[in-house]
């Protein structure tokens, strides 16, 4: 239950942060998640899933018929189907947050060097 609550918190922070600031808040939220959950081995997964949920909610909130036409226009430029553009966007958010969380956890949980 704790991990589910953290995932929802990350999703909310990602969506609100992206809406208020910009996309770069995603790795910041991921890094903060890695810091807060540094003892949890699923911290990067929580950050990644939460970020994807946050951006998915944000996309769902902002998409309209005009956005569908925009995706259909952008699709040929990127050589992707419109639905794949959405999946790539969600994967981008998930990878940003998960990698930031994993990096912070790795830096904080490094074993102490041993003296020769």
Residues 6+ apart with CB under 8 A from 108: 34, 35, 38
**pLDDT classification of 112: cutoffs 50, 70, 90:** low
Helix pair 43-62, 2-20: axis angle to 10 deg: 50
Mean pLDDT of the region 34-44 = 90
Task: List, for residues 42-100, the tens digit of each pLDDT value.
Answer: 999 999 999 999 999 888 877 765 666 777 777 777 788 777 888 888 999 999 999 99
Cα 52 from Cα 114, distance rounded (Å) = 39
Where are the chain's structural domains? 2-108
């Amino acid at each position: 239950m704790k991990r589910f609550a953290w995932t929802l918190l990350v999703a909310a922070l990602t969506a609100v942060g992206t809406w208020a600031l910009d996309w770069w808040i995603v790795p910041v939220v991921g890094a903060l998640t890695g810091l807060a959950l540094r003892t949890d081995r699923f911290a990067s997964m929580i950050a990644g899933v939460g970020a994807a949920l946050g951006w998915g909610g944000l996309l769902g909130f902002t998409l309209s018929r005009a956005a569908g036409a925009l995706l259909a226009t952008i699709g040929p430029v990127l050589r992707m189907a419109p639905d794949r553009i959405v999946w790539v966007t969600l994967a981008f958010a998930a990878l940003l947050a998960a990698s930031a969380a994993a990096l912070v956890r790795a830096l904080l949980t490094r074993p102490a060097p041993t003296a020769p």
